[in-house]
Structure 1
């Protein structure tokens, strides 16, 4: 009976092979083809023919893959693709400070800081596109929306659409990859007018360098007929670069001219920072109602050696006004990180920035693997005092603990203290300048 059953099974397989291409599509496993050949069901020539047929069909089909970078569909000729991914940043923050005069306490609580979906890919080989929208705050806003083309005559990529200015290493880095829940005080001088806007950029990069420059109008959210205009340029160089050690230096310059209605990139001219994104508490705040243009210069230094990494920037603003003297504001930061239990930050020289954190062993409780931990510290300072503008001065110290469960998931714990507040800073209920504002923040993040 066993022999009869085997013969019947073999006959059925042979019949399917002879009559159905669908079964042939399932014979991509070389071991199975070899087994059928050994049992005499198919000949060596037939096995080779089936393998060749499968290879030819595979070359004519699009490929679908799902990994750490999201869902990707790519054409058979590799000339077109679409990749779909997203990010979610869920935040909790609370504060501890003295009573303020004529002002409510900082807002504490929870927030979906970012909830984004994106689609990006390539067309006809040299064209690339990206469209990313954010649904946080129960509203929809467009982030990146642009089209790029890689020139054949030179190693330059042109990009048109809504995109970041080429200003500041910290601004260029993704919020998925920055070391703390909030960017440094330097961002108070850069992000208001040199984050995203509609424009055209030219970028190039090599094994240890990066350069990018562009011209911009206003941001995509500005519906006014009249717009201001801007310019941004950034370059970086890594004189030391290997798998374990990086030394990075860079510089950038930005210019933003206000529109006829006095707006800069669609915003009323001001420079400030909030203790957390939704606290509505601004230890320093400088409004410049008659601003004509603002220029910013940024110097960068970063390094990495094994588990250690350091990053620092110094920024200076020059604000030209329609009436009154020019103003000068400044800010700087230095941050240090050290990874525990394996893993390190990833540096991409062709873009001059740190990318995602490499985790050697992802979290898996059943095997006793806990991912990676990163301890971090940052000191930053800002000065918004000049001429008749008293925006205040502040120093801040931040400690962070980042738990990387995998390349796609992490939890951040931050403690910050703003201190040595002076000038236009907020006052306590005694009429004195308030001091020692503490904030605690937790973020749970996934991104792919």
Structure 2
């Protein structure tokens, strides 16, 4: 009951009160006083009842408001779904600073090579599990961290990264089995390269992980890296001793990322009967044929120097490298210097996608519109010229001119499908045709299905 109702009731009661003497003018004074007292008592009772009704009405209104608020909150919660979990595996954190993050990758390759019939080398369809890695990484407190990965591909167990790290500000120290600092292409993870295999010179000159200690310093647009290394886990019995250094500048202009770098490499073989051998497959890894090959060369040491450059601007990227490998051969008057390099361009055919870049190397591409979120993922087309020259100072290992193309589809951040084609034009190949000709072409086609976490 509201105030207007209460006033109406009171007005009616007061009217009755003032009208009573008119109707009771013939009554005695004592009777009139009694009647007036009774009416006042009734009026007081009526006022109390009005107060009670107003209180009950106020409580009912408050209950209705609370119920409406509850219904609105429930409707909003139903209409707004809970945030989706992150797609990648989260690290397991501990209060004392330790963390554990599982990691892994699986790459399956298939395809074929086509070689001239008369050279008698294997060709046709082949396939392989290129990489099957499992491992973990994380922190151990106090600025220390770790990374450990094992590869099970090829029915063999090989250690990839196995390092203990320490980071303080812009400085990071790494000890263990890891990449030394040779080439942008080599340091870019196999998860993020644009072709099914890296540029020919990286494999031909034996770039690989080695056991050692290194320091990296990153400040602003510059990265300086240096380390001392022995050999890889499979060759711990050798006396190899090496040094590697790399300097990178990473300026940006607007949304355009530039990359300029250079590296040097020295490896003392440390054995009286030490040898080196430089050779390379025709693009794909699932064939064991190598049409350029220096054979074993007696050597005391290796010295290499490389230059690297790249640019990323929206959907477009370009990259180029050159690397010179000099071999100290005590039995020869002139030491040979071999050369390899590549130049490539790439372009995303899907809107909003760009190539990833971080820490002086290419990084993960993350589709702007992935599959599962209403999109089709990213599609990237790449073209590359790949050159390798293993002829010098009387050593005839052959030359390779590679003309390569790849089409990469990434449905999500962590899945990839790739088509690759390469026409490898050889000069002075190590296998001759029936007529003795060593200049010919080999075609290679490969596909890859890849997932990682």
Structure with max Cα Rg: 2
Residue 329 (1) aligns with residue 338 (2): yes
What is the CA deviation profile of residues 248-269 of structure 1, one whole-angstrom value per residue up to 9, with x for unaligned ones? 1000111111131644xxxx51
In 1, distance between residues paired with 2:438 and 2:289? Answer: 14
Residue 400 (1) aligns with residue 411 (2): no
TM alignment of 1:152-171, pairs within 5 A: 155-171=170-186
Name the TM-score, length of structure 2 as normaliser.
0.78
Structure 2 unmatched runs, 5+: 1-65, 68-83
In 2, distance between residues paired with 1:259 and 1:141? Answer: 24
Higher helix share: 2
Deviation at 1:443, TM superposition (A): 0.2
Partner in structure 2 of residue 13 of structure 1: none
In 2, distance between residues paired with 1:259 and 1:354? Answer: 34
In 1, distance between residues paired with 2:270 and 2:253? Answer: 43
Partner in structure 2 of residue 250 of structure 1: 261
Name the TM-score, length of structure 1 as normaliser.
0.79
Deviation at 1:223, TM superposition (A): 4.1
CA contact (8 A) 1:80 1:125 kept: no
Partner in structure 2 of residue 235 of structure 1: 247
- Cα gap change, 1:305 to 1:141, in 2 (>3 Å): same
- SS at structure 1 position matched to 2:154: helix
Residue 358 (1) aligns with residue 366 (2): yes
Residue 150 (1) aligns with residue 162 (2): no
TM alignment of 1:17-416, pairs within 5 A: 67-76=86-95, 79-101=97-119, 103-106=120-123, 108-151=125-168, 155-190=170-205, 192=206, 194-224=207-237, 226-242=238-254, 244-260=255-271, 262-263=273-274, 269-275=276-282, 276-324=284-332, 325-342=334-351, 343-348=353-358, 351-364=359-372, 369-416=375-422
Deviation at 1:74, TM superposition (A): 1.2
CA contact (8 A) 2:399 2:428 kept: yes
In 1, distance between residues paired with 2:109 and 2:182? Answer: 27
The structure 2 residue matched to 1:437, chosen from 438, 442, 446, is 442
In 1, distance between residues paired with 2:324 and 2:390? Answer: 11
Question: Please, what is the CA RMSD of the aligned residues?
Answer: 2.1
In 1, distance between residues paired with 2:204 and 2:264? Answer: 12
What is the CA deviation profile of residues 373-422 of structure 1, one whole-angstrom value per residue up to 9, with x for unaligned ones? 00000001111111221001110000110001111001000010001x22
In 1, distance between residues paired with 2:396 and 2:335? Answer: 14
CA contact (8 A) 1:202 1:214 kept: yes
Deviation at 1:241, TM superposition (A): 5.0
CA contact (8 A) 1:426 1:434 kept: no
In 2, distance between residues paired with 1:147 and 1:197? Answer: 14
- Cα gap change, 1:380 to 1:80, in 2 (>3 Å): same
In 2, distance between residues paired with 1:136 and 1:379? Answer: 29
Deviation at 1:296, TM superposition (A): 1.0
CA contact (8 A) 2:293 2:398 kept: yes
